[in-house]
Amino acid sequence: MSQINNRDTEKDIMKWFSALMRWLGVKDYQAAGAIQNATNKMYTDPNVVRAGMDEVIKSKQKGVDEMINAISTVKANLTTSETSKAEADVKLERATKLRAGAKIEYMQYGQKQLAAGKTEAEITADIEYTRLMKAYSDAGGILESRQKRCNELQAEITRGEAEKKKLMFSLEGMQRDLKETVEKRGTLAAKAAAAQSAIRAQSIIAGLQSDKTGELQANIEGAVNQLVAKSEVVAEIAGTNADMREAELIALAESHTSDNELEGMLFGARRAEDAAKATVDKPVATTETGVLN
């Protein structure tokens, strides 16, 4: 039973570990996506565009400079090869003449020996003739060596010319690319700035259309209009009440002809009451001492 429980525990641990690894993998993808999004957003900033293009231009300019240095090296080697070839040509020409002179010399010596009545065997065995023949053979070896050197130098020159031509072609392409990149620097920065302005403008328009600011504005305008209408109603009512009051006062004024009449209406009854009360409440002296009864 304990073994079964241990196996179940191990399975649970493996499942948990697998789930954890999957979760970490998802987080890695999310982090990579966030970094890429942040990078893309950064590269849309006009200042970043200019700085980035400056780096690109700097890198391409470095490539152009390196290519120019490589071409300079090839040209220097080519110049050296051409100089060596010119010197080798002079030596080859000299070696050719020396071999030709050595040949003429041994042939003339042989003819003299024949004219002197010597046989071919005697002539070939002659020490001087042997020396002259060796000189001719040595001149031939030197000539062959000079010719070989000239051929090698010519091959170097041919390879150098081809390499120079190829590098010059590459350099022209790199210089065109550099020029276009320099021109694009300002264009891309301007495009990025214009695009950001357009996006901001469209975002503002879209925001006014999609968010609650339009509804808020409508509510504010409605409340203000309602308040204005209420004030107008209150003013109208106040004006109506004032008109009615003025009409009442005018009617009262027209119904009475004098202020004395109005005063009589207001105070006449009160004055009569006061006079009657004064008569009733007046003290009467009943004795000579003046004691009131």
Residue 148: C-alpha distances to residues 92, 98, 246 (Å): 9, 17, 138
Question: Between 7 and 169, where is the model more confident?
Answer: 169
Question: Between 277 and 59, where is the model more confident?
Answer: 59
pLDDT digits (tens, 9 = 90+) for 270-285: 666 666 666 655 555 5
pLDDT digits (tens, 9 = 90+) for 238-263: 555 666 666 666 666 666 555 555 55
**Residues shown for the chain:** 293
3-state helix vs strand vs coil in the chain, percent to 5: 90, 0, 10
pLDDT for res 235: 59
At CA 73, angle to CA 69 and CA 76, rounded to 5?
135
d(CA 107, CA 98): 14
Asked if the model's pLDDT at residue 65 lies above 90, the reply is yes
Are the beta carbons of 87 and 149 closer than 8 angstroms? no
Extract the tokens encoding 271.
Answer: 């004055």
CATH number for the region 43-211 comes to 1.10.287.1490
pLDDT bin (cut points 50, 70, 90) of residue 96 is very high
pLDDT bin (cut points 50, 70, 90) of residue 51 is confident
Q: What is the pTM of this model?
A: 0.48
Are the beta carbons of 50 and 122 closer than 8 angstroms? no
pLDDT for res 36: 53
Q: Within the chain, what is the greatest distance between any pair of CA atoms?
A: 228
User: Phi and psi (nearest 5°) for 155?
Assistant: -65, -40
Asked if the model's pLDDT at residue 290 lies above 50, the reply is no
pLDDT digits (tens, 9 = 90+) for 180-230: 988 888 777 677 776 666 666 666 666 655 555 556 556 666 666 666 666
Cα first-last separation, the chain: 132
Mean local confidence (pLDDT), 37-41: 53
Mean local confidence (pLDDT), 78-91: 94
Long-range contacts for 188-192 (Cβ within 8 Å, ≥24 apart)? 188/49, 188/53, 189/46, 189/49, 189/50, 189/53, 190/46, 192/44, 192/45, 192/46, 192/49
Say how many CA atoms lie within 13 Å of 47 toward its Cβ.
Answer: 0
pLDDT digits (tens, 9 = 90+) for 129-181: 999 999 999 999 999 999 999 999 999 999 999 999 999 999 999 999 999 98
For the chain, which residues make up each domain, given as ranges? 43-211, 222-274
pLDDT for res 223: 63
Share of the chain above pLDDT 70, in %: 50
Mean local confidence (pLDDT), 24-33: 55
Mean pLDDT of the residues in the chain:
75
Mean local confidence (pLDDT), 74-79: 93
Mean local confidence (pLDDT), 8-32: 62
